């Protein structure tokens, strides 16, 4: 298959957008809320500040902003979108999720299908995988994929071991056959259920239903075994990255940019080191946004593309890990 035919047939990300709350909470402000310090947070995580939704802002509003920007940047009409996938771990509501609220505010064809997808912090890459395969199948043509997270609503703001780590954001991408940018060369997703308890929010589901009256318990906050996650994260991102490179027939040396899940700068540096990649080829923005779960990769990708770091023709490797444990990687020719 020649390069032109390949460009025509391979689904690509043809538009990107992001949605961020206006409210910023710096490490210095956190020092006044819990027993922590800017020094501890910066040295252990690389985070300096995070964005947080105001109480009256619905989480889906971030996804709507990100989607509008992605659609504006894409060479398609809103009417051409035939599927909406919203990756999120904590939806606006357990039923019906977040995707209907996002669809309702966008000017899309009214009957198109939508659904929420839950795969920990890897949700955006899982959704890209779904979009890639659906578009490849020919059954869908233009899939709007969103990573949406408002973890500020479910972190315990009295628990210094978790509240300093997370932020709110959304990022969106349009996956389409209609363009030649952002061509997805390979996409792989994986899981390790033996690590399913490392990151969890137990309450609110059917195992610990709110109807049991446990509303004030710690079951309703995100909990994490940080060290356990840390140990697995590098291996998961490295193995999935090598897998997509092998699938697409590229070597690590040919990768121009890695856009890893933004959870902790030490994890990212360790990943780069273990892959023999220098940090000047790694996109990092967690100092400004903290860990926004499903939104980290699309927001970082959007900023790297609109800021001119990622250029046409660059080979870009996305990789993520998270609750589940779900992990994966996507290889893209920009
Ligand atoms: O998207 C995936 C989600 N999660 C992750 O990626 C998280 C992965 N893990 C991590 O990023 C790190 O494990 C953390 C940043 C969560 C923690 O770093 P650590 O180097 O593993 O620290 P630690 O948990 O071993 O805690 C060391 C000390 C403890 O005190 P003691 O027991 O040694 O006296 C903690 O109580 O640091 C204390 N500590 C804090 N001190 C100041 C924990 N949180 C804080 C804090 N400020 N915010």
Residue 163 a catalytic site member? no
Q: Is the pLDDT of residue 326 over 80?
A: yes
Quick one: pLDDT at residue 216?
66
Whole-structure pTM value:
0.95
Quick one: pLDDT band at residue 209, thresholds 50, 70, 90?
confident
User: How confident is the model over 96-120, as a mean pLDDT?
Assistant: 97
For residue 175, CA distances in Å to 4, 118, 235, 241 come to: 18, 19, 28, 20
For residue 140, CA distances in Å to 17, 126, 252, 291 come to: 21, 17, 32, 31
Q: Is the pLDDT of residue 323 over 50?
A: yes
User: How confident is the model over 299-307, as a mean pLDDT?
Assistant: 98
Residue 141 a catalytic site member? no
Tokens 């030649």 correspond to: 180
Quick one: pLDDT band at residue 88, thresholds 50, 70, 90?
very high
Ligand 1: which of 159, 161, 262, 320 to mutate, most ligand atoms within 8 Å of CB?
161
51 or 207, which is more confident: 51
Instruction: Determine the distance separating the centroid of ligand 1 and the alpha carbon of 54, expressed in angstroms.
Output: 26
- The two most distant CA atoms of the chain are separated, in Å, by 62
Using alpha carbons, select from 231, 104, 129, 109 the residue that is nearest to residue 188.
129
Instruction: Determine the distance separating the centroid of ligand 1 and the alpha carbon of 161, expressed in angstroms.
Output: 6
Quick one: pLDDT at residue 219?
84
Residue 2 a catalytic site member? no
User: Ligand 1 in contact with 127 (CB < 6 A)?
Assistant: no
Note the pLDDT tens digit of each residue in 144-169. Answer: 999 999 999 999 999 999 999 999 99
Catalytically annotated residue among 89, 142, 219, 261:
261
Note the pLDDT tens digit of each residue in 244-271. Answer: 999 999 999 999 999 999 999 999 999 9
Q: Is the pLDDT of residue 5 over 50?
A: no
Strand partners, 199: 224
Using alpha carbons, select from 247, 252, 241 the residue that is nearest to residue 297.
241
Quick one: pLDDT at residue 16?
98
Cis before 96? omega within 30: yes
Quick one: pLDDT band at residue 112, thresholds 50, 70, 90?
very high
Quick one: pLDDT band at residue 6, thresholds 50, 70, 90?
very low
Share of the chain above pLDDT 90, in %: 88
Instruction: Determine the distance separating the centroid of ligand 1 and the alpha carbon of 226, expressed in angstroms.
Output: 6
Quick one: pLDDT at residue 3?
42
């Amino acid at each position: 298959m020649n390069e032109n035919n390949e460009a025509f047939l391979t689904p690509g990300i043809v538009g990107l957008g992001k949605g961020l709350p206006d409210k910023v909470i710096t490490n210095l402000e956190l020092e006044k809320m819990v027993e922590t310090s800017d020094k501890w947070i910066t040295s252990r995580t690389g985070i300096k500040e995070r964005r947080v939704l105001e109480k009256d802002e619905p989480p889906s509003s971030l996804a709507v902003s990100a989607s509008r920007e992605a659609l504006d940047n894409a060479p398609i009409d809103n009417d051409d979108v035939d599927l909406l996938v919203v990756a999120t771990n904590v939806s606006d509501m357990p039923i019906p999720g977040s995707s209907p609220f996002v669809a309702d505010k966008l000017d899309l064809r009214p009957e198109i299908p939508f659904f929420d997808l839950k795969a920990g912090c890897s949700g955006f890459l899982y959704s890209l995988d779904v979009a890639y395969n659906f578009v490849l199948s020919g059954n869908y043509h233009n899939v709007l994929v969103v990573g949406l997270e408002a973890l500020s609503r479910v972190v315990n703001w009295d628990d210094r071991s978790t509240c300093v780590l997370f932020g709110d954001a959304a990022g969106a991408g349009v996956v389409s056959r209609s363009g030649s940018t952002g061509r997805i060369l390979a996409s792989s997703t994986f899981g390790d259920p033996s690590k399913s308890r490392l990151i969890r929010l137990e309450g609110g589901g059917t195992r610990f239903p709110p109807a049991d009256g446990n509303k004030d318990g710690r079951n309703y906050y995100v909990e994490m075994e940080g060290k356990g996650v840390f140990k697995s994260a590098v291996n998961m991102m490295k193995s999935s990255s090598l897998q997509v490179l092998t699938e697409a027939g590229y070597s690590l040396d040919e990768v121009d940019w890695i856009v890893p899940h933004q959870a902790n700068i030490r994890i990212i540096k360790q990943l780069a080191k273990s892959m023999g990649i220098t940090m000047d080829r790694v996109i990092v923005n967690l100092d400004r946004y903290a860990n926004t779960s499903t939104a980290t990769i699309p927001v970082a990708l959007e900023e790297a593309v609109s800021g001119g770091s990622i250029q046409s023709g660059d080979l870009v490797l996305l990789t993520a890990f998270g609750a589940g444990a779900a992990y994966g990687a996507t290889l893209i020719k920009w």
